[in-house]
Amino acid sequence: MRHEPNKAIMFRSENFLQLSPSNDILKITEEKGDTKIEYDIKVECGKNYYGSECAIFCNPSIGSFHFKCSPDGRRLCEDGWSGKNCDDPICANGCINGYCVSPGICKYVLLLN
């Protein structure tokens, strides 16, 4: 702590903390002499990043995928979709002699003998 003419009191505090994203707020109070500093710390991941180190990326807005992101960053496929990227449509009857183009809709191939 030091006093400088025409300037505010300076208080320097260094802490090395290992923090992870959380809804909790870390409250820190430090006192030196008659000076006290209090601050609240909340760590959040940036948009579309998840996990304890914000290293999991999940963005349902890119591409033609059909999913939402869970609170921990897992892809949750919308109804009627499956696959790693939730881009594989599901047809209940399996589309015999054709293929599934969107949930519940088959495109059939005409077989001529």
- Domain of 72: which CATH number? 2.10.25.140
Residue 32: C-alpha distances to residues 1, 28, 44, 95 (Å) = 8, 14, 30, 74
Total domains present in the chain? 2
Residue 12: C-alpha distances to residues 7, 30, 37 (Å) = 15, 10, 10
Is the pTM of the predicted complex or chain greater than 0.85? no
Confidence of residue 8 (pLDDT cuts 50, 70, 90): low
- pLDDT for position 11: 67
- Please state the rounded mean pLDDT for residues 29-49: 89
Residues 64 and 37 in one domain: no
Residues 8 and 37 in one domain: yes
- Has residue 113 been placed in a domain? no
Confidence of residue 7 (pLDDT cuts 50, 70, 90): low
